């Protein structure tokens, strides 16, 4: 007999198939009293899982993706009364070096992900990835994947690359973003205008990133720069963090004062 009401926990979800393994891990943690790690989850799926499972009093949830600022993370599921600290448990992650000459064909994190998937990586094996100039990139991945790809060759965009497993301590991790409060006065609430001010990009560059599919609102893809923002919405820009629209006030001159926080 199941300890968890799976169908009730899945009610109303648009990602039922992806949530089922997370619920199964929670069930196993409660039944066996042994800590359970999920696969690496993207932020919207992880947030939904935390929201749906977080109300269970007997279950403790902790997320970890290899460094404090990681976006893609595993969930650690444990019985609350038998929970062990995160540092006492092995999350099964390793670093991965992706070396190649990107001087004439610059790449972004999404290109690294596509190259790894072409090399046989599964979605749940990939954590955060980032470029390090024109010599390649690094990432946090499932330890088994890192060992599987170690010393192998692949392709990212048109660039031949070589993979190498690395201890996480040897990576040059992205700088952790500290929360920052911002305020801007804009003629409109368009995504490209507000996003430009919040992320510190030119408006044309922000519009370009939106059209490229690098921007999400509350983790939902958006490709229209003219999409208007509202209070409480969160804007995610690949590689640049998240912008939360805290408050919007009309000014006497028909403009908008937008209060934001960025992390």
164-222: pLDDT as tens digits: 999 999 999 987 777 899 999 999 999 999 999 999 999 999 999 999 988 999 988 89
| Whole-number pLDDT of residue 96 | 98
| Whole-number pLDDT of residue 121 | 98
Position 137 in a domain: yes
| Whole-number pLDDT of residue 177 | 73
Specify the number of domains making up the chain.
3
* Confidence category of residue 1, pLDDT binned at 50, 70, 90: low
* Confidence category of residue 2, pLDDT binned at 50, 70, 90: confident
| Whole-number pLDDT of residue 176 | 76
User: Look-up: residue for tokens 């999920």?
Assistant: 38
- Give the residue ranges of DSSP H helices in 3-153: 6-10, 16-32, 43-53, 109-118, 143-149
Provide the CATH number for the domain around residue 134: 3.30.70
| Whole-number pLDDT of residue 36 | 97
| Whole-number pLDDT of residue 175 | 79
Q: For residue 258, which of 144, 181, 205 has the smallest C-alpha distance?
A: 181
Position 72 in a domain: yes
| Residue that is last in its domain, among 136, 170, 204 | 170
CB burial string 30-44: b at 16+ within 10 A, e below: beeeebbbbbbbbbb
d(CA 134, CA 112): 13
What Rg do the C-alpha atoms of the chain give, in angstroms? 20
Provide the CATH number for the domain around residue 239: 3.10.290.10
Q: Are residues 165 and 201 in the same domain?
A: no
Q: What pLDDT, in 10s, does the model give residues 17-74? A: 999 999 999 999 999 999 999 999 999 899 999 999 998 999 999 999 999 889 899 9
Q: What pLDDT, in 10s, does the model give residues 145-159? A: 999 999 999 999 999
Range of the domain at 158: 93-170
Q: Are residues 51 and 103 in the same domain?
A: no
Position 1 in a domain: no
Strand spans (E) along the chain: 36-37, 59-64, 74-79, 93-99, 126-131, 136-142, 153-156, 159-166, 180-186, 215-217, 220-221, 234-237, 241-250, 256-262
Q: What pLDDT, in 10s, does the model give residues 89-132? A: 999 999 999 999 999 999 989 899 999 999 999 999 999 999 99
d(CA 129, CA 42): 12
Provide the CATH number for the domain around residue 28: 3.30.1370.50
User: Which of helix, strand or coil describes residue 24?
Assistant: helix
d(CA 95, CA 108): 18
| Whole-number pLDDT of residue 193 | 96
| Residue that is last in its domain, among 35, 61, 88 | 88
| Residue that is last in its domain, among 65, 88, 111 | 88
Identify the burial level of 3 via C-beta atoms within 10 angstroms of its C-beta, where 0-12 means exposed, 13-18 middle and 19 or more buried.
middle
């Amino acid at each position: 007999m199941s300890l968890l009401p799976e169908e009730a926990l899945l009610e109303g979800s648009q990602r039922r198939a992806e949530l089922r393994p997370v619920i199964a891990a929670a069930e196993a943690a409660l039944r066996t009293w042994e800590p359970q790690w999920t696969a690496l989850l993207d932020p919207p799926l992880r947030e939904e899982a935390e929201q749906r499972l977080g109300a269970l009093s007997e279950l403790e949830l902790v997320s970890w993706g290899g460094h404090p600022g990681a976006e893609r993370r595993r969930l650690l599921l444990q019985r609350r009364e038998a929970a062990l600290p995160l540092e006492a448990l092995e999350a099964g992650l390793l670093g991965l070096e992706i070396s190649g000459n990107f001087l004439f064909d610059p790449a972004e994190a999404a290109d690294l992900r596509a190259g790894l998937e072409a090399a046989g990586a599964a979605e749940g094996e990939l954590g955060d990835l980032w470029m390090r100039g024109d010599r390649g990139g690094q990432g946090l991945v499932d330890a088994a994947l890192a060992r599987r790809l170690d010393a192998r060759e692949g392709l990212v965009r048109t660039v031949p690359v070589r993979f190498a497993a690395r201890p996480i301590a040897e990576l040059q991790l992205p700088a952790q973003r500290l929360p920052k409060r911002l305020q801007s006065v804009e003629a409109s609430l368009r995504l490209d205008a507000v996003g430009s001010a919040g992320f510190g990009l030119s408006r044309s560059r922000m519009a370009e990133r939106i059209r490229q599919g690098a921007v999400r609102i509350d983790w939902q893809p958006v490709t229209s720069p003219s999409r208007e923002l509202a209070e409480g919405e969160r804007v995610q820009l690949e590689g640049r963090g998240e912008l939360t629209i805290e408050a919007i006030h009309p000014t006497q001159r028909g403009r908008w004062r937008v209060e934001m926080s960025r992390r």
